[in-house]
Amino acid sequence: MKVMKFGGTSVGKPERMAEISRLITKEDEPKIVVLSALSGTTNALTEISDSLAKGDRQNAKNRIDALEDHYQAFIKELVKSDVFYQKAKDVLAEHFEFLNIILKISYSEALNKDILAQGELLSTKMFSIYLQEENIPHVWLAALDFMSIDVFGEPQVQNIKVKLANLLEAHQGDTLFITQGYICRNAKGEVDNLKRGGSDYSASLIAAAVHASVCEIWTDINGMHNNDPRIVKNTKPIQHLSFDEAAELAYFGAKILHPASIWPAQHFNFPVRLLNTMEPDAAGTLIEGHSDSEGVKAIAAKDSITAIKIKSSRMLLAYGFLRKIFEVFEKYQTSIDMITTSEVAVSLTIDNDTFLKEIIKELEMFGTIETDRNQSIVSIVGYHISKTQNLLAKVFDSLTEIPVRMVSFGGSQHNISILISQEDKEKTLQLLNKGLFE
């Protein structure tokens, strides 16, 4: 069994759905195909939800109508015959009726999650209709029947495994399954999701659950590049990454992969391939257990970071001081990314500032607190880069013009991270590219 995940741009146009149908029928191996929403849809649904939360029903209604027009035009091109066009129209009617009903319901977080789930439901149902018209046998699976997270938002791998096995068992003889990425049920049984970009995570969790031979992530670029191609010119695809390298890059901001999508592959030991739907024969990136070479592989950046400095000449050297600080973050379920210490201060960073006010209030008991928002973590990743000669010198020589706020080196052998102001990010990525790769 193999898992193939297609992202928003890969399903965003009717002709792309036709291309996917070719890719998934190329070889005989049984497959679970995971689809994202059409590109732009989850953003549109987020806006609809935000408008409702603010009580701006008119804007929400305008957005729903614009989205419906987009889908009506999409299905006209997707299918040929009246029968399948009518089927597609019925699917749109069902989901847009729901969106119009929510305009009359009072807003809640649960409703927000229901709204966000419409994208993946629509894309997989439309794709299924396309496959039916093409006479390609397949089974449409509801991710909400097997994908679940616990009270902490963590996937319940064992439950997913059992439920999915039962569903597949009920369809013995079938070899092609289509399901939704991103969406799941939470501990209360409500519709929820795996956060933005979560379809990659769905795919690797499904691959773990069915012991897939490979998890293929099909997107709009030839695999992981050595720097952010949206910001830096002449970036190059990387043919091979270890799980550790890929996990660091995904966690520290390479948008091509959801931050959590590598751990299931690492834990259950199946390879991940990043491939390009627009250029299916390109090599892409193979991610597996070992690394094929030492040295710097890639640079990535993560935005919207908040740095917190706790200054306390009195207590820093005392036993248990760091523990007390960490307990505050634990209490507010806020994870720390970077940390540096000196004799009089501790600096650390968080990317989730939901409880920033509460955290600062509690930290004030330990010393003076300074916070800097809108920071970026830039990470330089590669196997055993901590041993690479002159690397630190090259990094700092490249960044003489950039004020560096924090540096983290030696935490892992595969990563050097620096904290800079978000407004310096583009320049930092470009300068590092020049210094390390050119």
| Residues found near ligand ASP in the complex (CB under 6 A) | 7-8, 36-37, 42, 119, 181-182, 196-199
Q: Is 219 in the site for ligand ADP (CB under 6 A)?
A: yes
**Interface pick for Mg ion out of 197, 253, 264, 382 (rule CB under 5 A):** 197
Q: Does 382 bind ligand ADP (CB under 6 A)?
A: no
Instruction: Round the CA-based radius of gyration of the chain to a whole number and report it.
Output: 23
The residue with its CB nearest to ligand ADP is: 7
Q: Which one of 2, 3, 7, 117 is in contact with ligand ADP (CB under 6 A)?
A: 7
181 binds, among ligand ASP, ligand ADP, Mg ion, none (CB under 5 to 8 A by kind): ligand ASP
Q: Are 271 and 240 a contacting pair, CB within 8 Å? A: no
Residues of span 275-334 touching ligand ADP by CB under 6 A: 300
- Tell me whether residue 41 or residue 428 sits nearer to ligand ASP (CB atom): 41
Residues in 191-210 that interact with ligand ADP by CB under 6 A: 197
H, E, C per residue of 258-327: CCCCCHHHHHHCCCEEEEECCCCCCCCEEEECCCCCCCCCEEEEEEEEEEEEEECCCCCCCCCHHHHHHH
3-state secondary structure of 256: coil
Binding of ligand ADP at residue 426 (CB under 6 A)? Answer: no
Q: CB–CB of 359/332 below 8 Å?
A: yes
For the beta carbon of residue 366, count every other beta carbon within 10 angstroms: 18
Q: Collapsing DSSP states into helix, strand and coil, what is residue 335?
A: coil
Rank residues 197 and 284 by Cβ distance to ligand ASP and give the closer one: 197
Q: Which of 224, 246, 348, 416 binds ligand ADP (CB under 6 A)?
A: 224
SS3 content of the chain, % helix, strand, coil (to 5): 40, 20, 35
The site partner of 225 among Mg ion, ligand ADP, ligand ASP, none (C-beta below 5 to 8 Å per kind) is ligand ADP
105 vs 52, 55, 108, 169, CA distance in Å? 9, 11, 9, 39
List Cβ neighbours of 27 (8 Å cut-off, separation of 6 or more).
none
Going residue by residue from 33 to 52, which x/- string records binding to ligand ADP, judged by CB under 6 A?
---x----------------
CA atoms of 97 and 93, how far apart (whole Å): 6
Q: Per CB under 6 A, does 262 bind ligand ADP?
A: no
Residue 13 contacts ligand ADP per CB under 6 A: no
Residue 424 to residue 403: CA distance in whole angstroms:
8
Q: Which tokens is 70 given?
A: 């987009």
CB of 237 to ligand ADP, least distance (A): 8
Instruction: State which residue, 34 or 308, has the beta carbon closest to ligand ADP.
Output: 34
Q: Does 245 bind ligand ADP (CB under 6 A)?
A: no
Q: Closest by alpha carbon to 352, among 409, 299, 414, 308?
A: 308
Nearer to ligand ADP, 129 or 274 (CB): 274
What's the rounded Cα separation, in Å, for the pair 71 and 46?
17
| From candidates 254, 310, 316, 402, binder to ligand ADP by CB under 6 A | 254
Give a three-class secondary structure readout of 367-426. CEEEEEEEEEEEEEECCCHHHCCCHHHHHHHHCCCCCEEEEEECCCCCEEEEEEEHHHHH
Residue 182 beta carbon to ligand ASP: minimum distance, rounded to whole angstroms: 4
Contact region with Mg ion (CB under 5 A), list: 54-62, 195-203, 278-286, 296-304: 195-203
- Binding-site partner at residue 284 among Mg ion, ligand ADP, ligand ASP, none, CB < 5 to 8 Å by type: none
Q: How far is the CB of 298 from ligand ADP (least distance, A)?
A: 6
320 burial via Cβ count (<10 Å: 0-12, 13-18, 19+): exposed
Which residues are paired to 339 by β-bridges? 348
Minimal distance, residue 5 CB to ligand ADP, in Å:
8
8-state DSSP, 237: B
Shortest-Cβ-distance residue relative to Mg ion? 197
CB of 256 to ligand ADP, least distance (A): 4
Q: Which residue has the tokens 């013009």?
A: 401
Nearer to ligand ADP, 30 or 237 (CB): 237
CB nearer Mg ion, residue 197 or residue 253 = 197
Q: Least Å distance between CB 36 and Mg ion? A: 7
Residues forming contacts to Mg ion in the complex (CB under 5 A) are: 7, 197
Contacts to ligand ADP by CB under 6 A: 7-10, 36, 197, 219-221, 224-225, 228-230, 254-256, 300
